[in-house]
Chains A and B, each alone.
Chain A
Amino acid sequence: MSIRERLSGNEAAAFAMKQINPDVVAAFPITPSTEIPQYFSSFVDNGQVDTEFVAVESEHSAMSACIGAEAAGGRAMTATSANGLSLMWEMIYIASSLRLPIVMSLVNRAVSGPLNIHNDHSDAMGVRDSGWIMLFSENNQEVYDNLIMAHRIAENKDVLLPLMVCQDGFITSHSIENIELIEDDKVKEFIGTYKPDHFLLNEKEPMAIGPLDLQAYLFEHKKQQADAMRNAKKVILDVAKDFEKMTGRKYGFFEEYKMEDAEVVIVCMNSTAGTTKATVDKLRKEGVKAGLLKIRVFRPFPTEEVANALKNAKAIAVLDKADSLNGAGGALFEDVVSSMYVSNIHVPTVDYVYGIGGRDTTMKEIESVYRDLLKIVETGDIQNPYRYLGVRGDK
């Protein structure tokens, strides 16, 4: 029997970490992720976990400590947001290239500047090419479930990559909602013990980690990282199957909401997907064939599967909660469009940059996107594919 509870997204993340009971947690507080190490440190203080909690002096050190702990053969976790992730930047790449399956909670927040503490995805999009697996979470339940699945994915011998679980700062991190928790012993059994093949504290196998890697080898090592990311797709689905057996909750690369006969489709990530579901329900009652494709696994990007899921749509809008400031579209838009193109699927698709710096996104706004898509279906005219939702001035 699962445990019926009510927790915020941050509480859900901290609770998952308590059940995971990692060897090391190293973190530095930054809004809106601060509560995660705060709650976790009280679990340490109360003796509810036997984790070594390292209260570091910066996020660069937080990631460095996680790298050291994971390389030594332990399980390491951390949490951060926005500029905290920016300060980790150097070590983010080192963690993935050393193939260390560290798990991070990333509570998404706008990267400065000017200073903003609220939600968008500019922090996550900044590390999308860093070699981390990236899972996005609609609500506290998915934050919890993704974290429970994280180590099984990251530590798999065919993968060995770090993994971050993203959620929307404040919107879910600070909202109390219902959640179904799993019993401690079941989580423990599901995750298992971490037994790395190679680790620094193994006196029988002395080794160096992260030495000079020049023209002769770096390319091959990067190719191995890329292969590991491709391998992660199967592992993510395998772990999801086991998770479904334990909880009854089904996870894939994405969630398809009323997509069977959908003609106008929104693709988005995190909490906006929930607001979009409510909008789809409203429009369906009016006879509009609206659907939602909610991306859960953003890295690796499930290109063929996304293309296949979208092939019957008549018009698609991708919602990007970060502007790539590239004179073209946002990161999710580019991934979705290129996925369809290489699968020879050509559906009119437009991008909406939205929700920047915590700008609230309402059902009315989501509905206006579906109305725009209906117009595209009717006229066949895409007009400007690079659009904005909820901004003042020119759209």
Chain B
Amino acid sequence: MDNLIEIRWHGRGGQGAKTASLLLADAAFNTGKYIQGFPEYGPERMGAPIVAYNRISDTPITIHSNIYEPDYVVVVDDTLLDCVDVTSGLKKDGAIVINSKKDNETLLKSLKGYEGSVYKIDARKISEEALGRYFPNTPMLAAIVKVTGIMSDEDFLNDMVGSFKHKFAKKPEVIDGNMNALRMALDQIEKVK
């Protein structure tokens, strides 16, 4: 498993964290990588904390366990910061990406001294501007692609057009909005530290 990247997603049921992890797997697959995308299934309910995972590697992946020491963490809902230990096991040379409009100081305080890189993005604002509704997973997908650097912005956007055409075959009117959300996210992601 050469250049293995492990990512953990924290979201709430209904926000699309699982879908985002599968779309990330898709995008990485299309660049020729070996991938895993899998949610941790629990008693799933709208609003309940959920976890999903990605492994991305240059060579076949054989590990079939959850991820306890991720390289990256994505937090799709910042209310989880109060109730879930989102930086648990997160590598010091890794990064966390949070959907939040909190000021940097407040955000860092809630991360209990995590030493690695911290990024934030206001996925609500982007989603509501681009899609007219709150679907945080699309901006968060773009954010983690940017932070991990697994592919260029251009390759990512080209690939996602295809994915959205497939995913939204029955409602093509939302494709442009989703593409806009991705572009805005790539542009607006902010490094906190």
Chain A positions within 8 Å of B, measured between CB atoms, are 6, 32, 117-118, 138-139, 168, 170-172, 174-178, 271-272, 274-275, 277-278, 360-363
Q: Which of B35-87 contact A (CB under 8 A)?
A: 35-39, 41, 60-66, 68
Q: When A117-B41, A176-B25 are in contact, do A278 and B35 touch as well, CB less than 8 Å?
A: no
B168 within 8 A of A: no
Q: When A178-B34, A363-B63 are in contact, do A278 and B41 touch as well, CB less than 8 Å?
A: no
Q: When A6-B29, A174-B41, A362-B68 are in contact, do A277 and B35 touch as well, CB less than 8 Å?
A: no
Give the chain A neighbours of B68 by CB distance below 8 A: 362
In the complex, are the beta carbons of A278 and B1 less than 8 A apart?
Answer: yes
Q: Tell me the bound Cα distance from A275 to B68 in angstroms.
A: 14
In the complex, are the beta carbons of A178 and B63 less than 8 A apart?
Answer: no
Size bin of chain B's contact surface: 20 to 34
In the complex, are the beta carbons of A175 and B29 less than 8 A apart?
Answer: no
In the complex, are the beta carbons of A174 and B60 less than 8 A apart?
Answer: no
In the complex, are the beta carbons of A362 and B35 less than 8 A apart?
Answer: no
In the complex, are the beta carbons of B62 and A275 less than 8 A apart?
Answer: yes
Q: Tell me the bound Cα distance from A360 to B68 in angstroms.
A: 11
In the complex, are the beta carbons of B41 and A170 less than 8 A apart?
Answer: yes
Give the chain A neighbours of B41 by CB distance below 8 A: 32, 117-118, 170, 174
Cβ contact of B65, chosen from A138, A174, A176, A361, cutoff 8 A: A361
Q: Tell me the bound Cα distance from A277 to B62 in angstroms.
A: 7
B190 within 8 A of A: no
**What are 19 A-B pairs at a CB distance below 8 A?**
A6-B25, A32-B41, A138-B62, A172-B64, A174-B38, A175-B36, A176-B36, A177-B35, A178-B34, A272-B64, A274-B64, A275-B65, A278-B1, A278-B63, A360-B66, A362-B65, A362-B66, A362-B68, A363-B65
B20 within 8 A of A: no
Chain B positions within 8 Å of A, measured between CB atoms, are 1, 22, 25-26, 29, 34-39, 41, 60-66, 68
Closest to B62 in A: A274
| Top-5 shortest CB links A-B | A274-B62, A175-B38, A271-B64, A176-B37, A277-B62
B68 smallest CB distance to A (angstroms)? 7
Q: Tell me the bound Cα distance from A288 to B34 in angstroms.
A: 28
In the complex, are the beta carbons of A275 and B64 less than 8 A apart?
Answer: yes
Identify 6 new A-B residue pairs, CB closer than 8 A, beyond the known A139-B62, A274-B63, A275-B62: A175-B38, A176-B35, A176-B38, A177-B36, A274-B62, A278-B1
Give the chain A neighbours of B38 by CB distance below 8 A: 170-171, 174-176
Q: Tell me the bound Cα distance from A35 to B4 in angstroms.
A: 29
Q: Tell me the bound Cα distance from A177 to B62 in angstroms.
A: 10
In the complex, are the beta carbons of B64 and A6 less than 8 A apart?
Answer: no
Closest to B30 in A: A6
The residue in B41, B64, B65 that gathers the most chain A C-beta atoms within 10 A of its C-beta is: B64
Give the chain A neighbours of B35 by CB distance below 8 A: 6, 176-178
Give the chain B neighbours of A362 by CB distance below 8 A: 65-66, 68
Closest to A6 in B: B29
